Amino acid sequence: MLAPEIVADTENSEIDVRELDLTDTASVRAFVDAWDEPLDLLVNNAGVMAIQELTLVENTWERQFATNFLGHFALTTGLRGALRLADGARVVSVSSSAHLFSPVVFDDIDFRFRPYDPLQAYGQSKTAVVLFGVAATSRWADDGITVNSVNPGAIATSLQRHVGGTLATPIELQKTPAQGASTSVMVATSRQLDGIGGRYFNNNQEAIAVDHRPTDITQLANSVASYALDLDVAERLWAIAARAVE
């Protein structure tokens, strides 16, 4: 297990809040265009979960896929120049153990033919998040940029608003927001991960790649689907995303 390091004191720091709508290409582009300095760290944390009815963004993309993946794809690729200038930048993308419930279904990403299922849609979007880290690290290694994904665990927040505000995870396995942030902080700061990308972490350690979904909930949380680490699949997804946000 890797130990998280405390590297920043925000008590006297200046906080700059800017508007950004991940489902609005113009909003993402405006944010990117306004950024004019090196960027050492980008944490892609925003997301939606288990929207109960099929909802399309711009009458095209399923909303969870659009928000959790495409919006962050547009943001991160748009900021590549700023990340390159930082000389050793890191990107941390928040995924979920739900990725084990669905690969990216390339023939029907937006549920135009198969019945819409909230968990499968959410899982697909979180698989896409992991695949982005695989492809981005492969493409950007020479720029000194690494991209990793994390599973924060089960945390009671407004993320569960579409499922009645409750967690299905047993209470003994639930986390506080601080505990959930621990893996993101570790991946963002640990010197043990210098130059390492395209990985998936949970509980401050790299997850175990599996070829089937574990039935034990503890094993589930500490696993990553092999299909989420496949570079060929990641490149296929990259091509689709690049066309979608151009």
Active site members: 122
**Cβ contact 123:111 at 8 Å:** no
How many whole angstroms from its chain centre is CA 23? 15
**Cβ contact 25:72 at 8 Å:** no
**Cβ contact 81:65 at 8 Å:** no
CA distance 126 to 131: 9
Task: Report the residue count for the chain.
Answer: 246
DSSP reduced 3-state for 221: helix
CA distance 220 to 224: 8
CA distance 131 to 227: 9
- Number of Cβ within 10 Å of residue 58's Cβ equals 10
